[in-house]
Amino acid sequence: MIQSKAYWRFRFNAIGQLRAIQTLPYDQATTELLISLINNETSWVKAAALSSLGLTNDASHADLFINCLADSSDRVVNAAAVALGKTKSPEAFEALLKLKDKPSWKNQSLMHCLAGLAQLGDARAEVIAVAALADNQSPRWFLGNSWDYPFVAAQTLATLGKTEKAYPILLERFNLAMAGNNTDDIFHQVLLMPP
């Protein structure tokens, strides 16, 4: 089913089922299947294969993940960034950092950078996450979810154990929203509060 020419959504779901039943470490056949899908598929199926292979935390796949950071699909780039971060590869930080300034719609590349850096757990990510959280001017989504770079920045700080860096920024914005009776912004700032 996964390697067939079936509708992509069936293959995407089949990869999810494989991930649910296959235990780590993956056997050679599963690893080769996932690598083949990454090399030959696009968007959703490729991203699902990257996410599955990323669960291995295997640094031997770092170059494959780095190559996928140049994909045209944001879904693929995000999956590759997270997978790369999980490898803890010495090349991961610099590769992920390049995403930060890559032109993208609504700063999606910055979100991918932060998501990967959170998985990497590198303390240098703190500066990038604080700057992203403090940036209230750049184009972005206002969704209060994982497709909003301030949200990903707050999650990154939480992952790094640096939530104290987020609170002054968010408290100032919350107070401004309260003073202006801006209900949407009040709600948004509360959503950004890290756990």
Type of residue found at 47: A
Fold of 57-192: Leucine-rich Repeat Variant (1.25.10)
The whole-number pLDDT of residue 185 equals 83
Q: 79, 125, 81, 123: which is closest to 102 by C-alpha?
A: 81
pTM of the model: 0.89
Per residue of the chain (195 residues), what is the pLDDT tens digit?
677 777 888 889 999 999 999 999 999 999 999 999 999 999 999 999 999 999 999 999 999 999 999 999 999 999 999 999 999 999 999 999 999 999 888 889 999 999 999 999 999 999 999 999 999 888 877 666 667 888 899 999 999 999 999 999 999 989 999 999 988 888 888 888 876
Q: How far apart are CA 95 and CA 65, in angstroms?
A: 10
For the chain, the domains span 57-192
Q: How far apart are CA 150 and CA 132, in angstroms?
A: 6
Residue of 109, 102, 105 whose CA lies nearest to 76 = 109
pLDDT at 191: 82
Residue 157: partners with Cβ closer than 8 Å, 6 or more residues away: 126, 129, 130, 133, 163, 165, 166, 194
